[in-house]
Amino acid sequence: MDDADHSTDTRPLITADELAERLAGPEAPALLDVRWQLGGPSGAEEYAAGHIPGAHFIALDSELAAPPAGAAGGRHPLPDPEVFGSALRRAGVRADREVVVYDAGPATAAARAWWLLRWGGHPQVRVLDGGLRAWTDSGRPTSDETPADEKGDFTPRPGALPTLDADAAAALAAGPGLLLDARAGERYRGETEPVDPRAGHIPGAVSAPTTDNVGPDGRFLSPEKLAARFRALGADDAPALGVYCGSGVTAAHEILALTLAGYRAALYPGSWSEWSSTDRPAATA
């Protein structure tokens, strides 16, 4: 594929080999490291210890989300466009420049960044399939040098991807639409709830853990396998699709998998952390 083809490449995933080629070329993408995990080590500390050369760190909790404000919006509300845009511009994101995002794998945090950039109107955003693990497994180096701030020009204009509020999520789950719950099965069934106020799920929602979107190597399954998965969950028979998780992070991973499979779905950003903070009903089983 030549450079002209790259400039219009809108595939949502990129391999480590393709990324290395792009970074060595004349039109290198803006590269964002968004490592994060719930209750895990700081992504900033991991970034400082070693990252793909040229990558800028973006903090999920403070730059890919707004501060929590009670029940409304859940644990990771959608970010203030000014804060989000400032972080992107510092990392060199331009409207006419491809953006590649990655995390440690399997792309749960990276998918949040992908979704937000697409929601904000950026046309060329790709996720490194397999994350940093795929990069290092291919024998490529990491760096502990922090690149200088850049001067991007991208200004997010929210609304390019669909979202749901709690009422819309409830209506979708009630049918004939399909609302997917991207959390682990035990949280969906109400057997455990390690983070949010109550256990259970939105009545009518269907369990679809994000862990089933990827293989043992942390890379996404083929579009054909993903399509078969979502077809079995009822996606082909639903006039509209929506996804939620705990706080709107891993749900973006599900939407990326659905996109790869050829489906379009809306995100419920508040997700279970918002829903369970209210008196709305919770189902178990």
Residue length, the chain? Answer: 285
Q: Which of 111, 245, 255, 261 is catalytic?
A: 245
CA distance 20 to 17: 5
User: Which positions of the chain have pLDDT values less than 70?
Assistant: 1-10
pLDDT in tens, 232-255: 999 999 999 999 999 999 999 999
Residues 6+ apart with CB under 8 A from 205: 173, 179, 180, 181, 188, 244, 283
- Quote the pLDDT of residue 223: 97
| Dihedral sign for Cα atoms in the order 146, 125, 231, 16 | negative
3-class DSSP state of 232? helix
What phi, psi does 17 have (nearest 5°)? -65, -45
- Quote the pLDDT of residue 134: 97
* CATH number, domain 166-275: 3.40.250.10
pLDDT in tens, 194-203: 999 999 999 9
- Quote the pLDDT of residue 7: 43
- Quote the pLDDT of residue 10: 66
Task: Evaluate whether 3-137 and 166-275 have a shared fold.
Answer: yes
- Quote the pLDDT of residue 71: 84
- Quote the pLDDT of residue 37: 87
Q: Which of 157, 30, 147, 148 is closest to 92 using CA atoms?
A: 30
Choose which CATH entry (3.40.30.10, 3.10.690.10, 3.40.250.10, 4.10.140.10) describes domain 3-137: 3.40.250.10
CB atoms within 10 A of CB 185: 13
- Quote the pLDDT of residue 240: 98
CB atoms within 10 A of CB 237: 9
Task: Map out the domains of the chain as residue ranges.
Answer: 3-137, 166-275
- Per the annotation, the verdict on 245 as an active-site residue is yes
